[in-house]
Structure 1
Amino acid sequence: MTEVVAWVIATIVTIPLLGWYFIYIVSVKISKNKSKSIQRASDWTTVLFMIAVYFIIIELWAKSLLWVILAVFFFVALIFTFIHWRFSGDIHVGKLFKGIWRFNFLLFFTIYIFLCGFGLLLRILS
């Protein structure tokens, strides 16, 4: 039973990169536009990276820090909204949401890469 749980968690943790690549390839084949395909793949896999970060944290420290992940997401949204309002004077919801979503992709992708490296190092040294 523990092997099945470990396999499921390992699969979910590796899905973001595979999912990003799959969406990128399909999008390039359909649209023939590489930069739009990168954006589309990033937009579609943000949630996968957030889930992967959640499961990696559980695997490394045996704690659920879902509240921290959600707090970071909403804090980024709050900061982006304030900056957007400050510079443009008016809030364009579509533009704002796209900026929040893409920044969260970069943030959670970076955290994902860092946690994978940290987890690998931790397992090697212990």
Structure 2
Amino acid sequence: MTSVLAAVIATIVTVPLLGWYVIYLTSVKISKNKSKSLRRASDWTTVLFMMAVYFILIELWDQSFGWLILAIFFLIAFFVTWIQWKVSGDIQTNKLFKGIWRFNFLFFVILYLLLSGFGLISRIFS
């Protein structure tokens, strides 16, 4: 049983799009609200995409880039905070944390897709 659970977790971390899709479908079935389910699935899988990017970077270049992922996360947090302060003149923490989290989701999804494509192409030609 533990090996099956480990295989499921490894698959979801390796292929976070699958995890996102499962969470999205489950949420749609429960809430019947597609836009809320889209946001919920995105919020819950941000960490999966960050972990997938981390492991892809290790696989491609045989180095750990955990420090770079954390630096990017905090750099995005800084810029989102600065933009909210400039636009509204006030920092609303709830909106700020949602903005940081969702912008990180978008960034790491794009990075995941780019690195996956790069890794696939580089393995084909090597």
TM-score normalised over the length of structure 1: 0.90
Match of 2:3 in 1: none
Match of 1:119 in 2: 119
Match of 2:42 in 1: 42
Q: Deviations over 1:4-50 (max 9, x none)?
A: xxx89x73321x11110111001000111111111000000000000
Match of 1:91 in 2: 91
Measured in 1, the distance between the counterparts of 2:56 and 2:86 equals: 36
Is 1:51 aligned with 2:51?
yes
Structure 2: stretches of 5+ with no match in the other structure: 1-6
Q: SS of the counterpart of 1:91?
A: coil
Q: Deviations over 1:64-87 (max 9, x none)?
A: 000000000000000110110111
Q: SS of the counterpart of 1:102?
A: helix
Runs of 4+ in structure 1 off by over 2 angstroms are none
The alignment covers a number of residue pairs equal to 119
Match of 1:13 in 2: 14
Measured in 2, the distance between the counterparts of 1:58 and 1:101 equals: 24
Measured in 1, the distance between the counterparts of 2:101 and 2:35 equals: 17
Structure 1: stretches of 5+ with no match in the other structure: 1-6
Q: SS of the counterpart of 1:90?
A: coil
Alpha-carbon offset, residue 97 of structure 1 = 0.5
Measured in 2, the distance between the counterparts of 1:41 and 1:18 equals: 11
